[in-house]
């Protein structure tokens, strides 16, 4: 998957979330930059978000 693919996927997911009335935090947007750049996997990105909110 290319960097542009990852960016497009996240932009779509963020837009969908916002259309549903959810707020995408600045922290998640910043962490997502590492995913877009290929520095972390989607699994790692999700784990960080879950840990931040205490979700198992």
pLDDT 10s digit of each residue in the chain, 56 long?
999 999 999 999 999 999 999 999 999 999 999 999 999 999 999 999 999 999 97
35 lies in which domain range?
3-53
Give the number of domains in the chain: 1
This prediction has a pTM of: 0.80
Dist. CA 2–CA 4, nearest whole Å: 5
| 21: Cα within 13 Å, side-chain hemisphere | 0
Greatest CA separation for the chain: 31
Say what the pLDDT of residue 56 is: 79
Say what the pLDDT of residue 2 is: 96
Q: Are 25 and 52 in contact (CB under 8 A)?
A: no
Q: Work out the burial of residue 32: count CB atoms within 10 Å of its CB; fewer than 13 is exposed, 13-18 middle, 19 or more buried.
A: buried
């Amino acid at each position: 998957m290319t960097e542009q693919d990852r960016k497009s996927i996240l932009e779509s997911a963020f837009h969908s979330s916002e259309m549903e009335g959810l707020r995408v935090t600045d922290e998640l947007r910043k962490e997502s930059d590492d995913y877009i750049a290929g520095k972390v996997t989607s699994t790692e990105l999700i784990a960080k978000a879950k840990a931040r909110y205490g979700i198992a």
